[in-house]
Amino acid sequence: MKLIIANRTYSSWSLRAWLAARASKHPFEEQLILLRQPDTRARILQWSPSGKLPCLIDNGLAVWDSLAIAEYLAEEQPAMWPLDGAARALARSVSAEMHSGFQALRNQMPMNLHREGQPLARSSPELEVDIRRIEALWTDCLTRFGGHEPYLFGAWSIADMMFAPVCLRFHSYGVTLSGAARDYVAAVLAHPHVVEWCEAAQAESSLIPDYEV
């Protein structure tokens, strides 16, 4: 199995799929394609028909899009989603909400793992709405389903993988959160797979000026 990813520093979608691949316990090879190079599009299209990364190749089968990759891997490893039906439905809802929404957050706070706690010069009402919705959503999941483990549904699940880049953004941009959400961010940042990705990102040197807001 091979996972094609983009820059670890900036590619939040690659991180989500990579976390799913690590959680699947399936051995996999990684291939990195740097974004914004003259040959980026051609190189991505060799693997991913959408022209976007991440893309998983398994025995000649291409699976692209972070959520589809996570679902594909979870077929073999069902515990990547919560096992309780109601918890699983909520985990899928919040994962889909992340995958299709939070446009202001995505545009105004791009993931940038070189950034350490520097607030944005200027926020916007749309960004504030996204942040408060995420805070409320996390608090709801943690209250209803969090248990002895610190993640949204107790055990580390695809829902946490979908929100891990958001936790990293909140850290990078110094966003102030309430108690439960703050503790959740700390737990995600300390997860060994997240730590491993961030350490590898520190070794990357290619800067993309558009993402250096």
Ligand X SMILES: N[C@@H](CCC(=O)N[C@@H](CS)C(=O)NCC(=O)O)C(=O)O
Count of residues of this chain found to bind ligand X when the rule CB under 6 A is applied: 13
In the bound complex, what is the minimum distance in angstroms from residue 1's beta carbon to ligand X?
17
Output 26 or 52, the one with its CB closest to ligand X: 52
Output 54 or 154, the one with its CB closest to ligand X: 54
Only one of the segments 50-58, 133-141, 174-182, 186-194 lies at the binding site for ligand X (rule: CB under 6 A); that segment is 50-58
Residue in the structure block whose two tokens are 């520097």: 118
Output 100 or 143, the one with its CB closest to ligand X: 100
Output 69 or 137, the one with its CB closest to ligand X: 69
In the bound complex, what is the minimum distance in angstroms from residue 35's beta carbon to ligand X?
5
Q: Does 53 bind ligand X (CB under 6 A)?
A: yes
In the bound complex, what is the minimum distance in angstroms from residue 54's beta carbon to ligand X?
6
The DSSP code sequence of the chain is -EEEE--TTT-HHHHHHHHHHHHTT---EEEE--TTSTTHHHHHHTT-TTS-S-EEEETTEEEESHHHHHHHHHHH-GGGS-SSHHHHHHHHHHHHHHHH--HHHHHHS---TT--SPPPS---HHHHHHHHHHHHHHHHHHHHH--SSSBTBBB--HHHHHHHHHHHHHHHTT----HHHHHHHHHHHHSHHHHHHHHHHHT-----GGG--
In the bound complex, what is the minimum distance in angstroms from residue 53's beta carbon to ligand X?
4
> Where in 129-158 is the site for ligand X (CB under 6 A)?
none
Strand order in the sheet with 55-58: 29-32, 2-5, 55-58, 61-64
In the bound complex, what is the minimum distance in angstroms from residue 28's beta carbon to ligand X?
16
> Where in 6-25 is the site for ligand X (CB under 6 A)?
6, 11, 13-14
Contacts with ligand X, residue ranges (CB under 6 A): 6, 11, 13-14, 35, 40-41, 52-54, 65-67
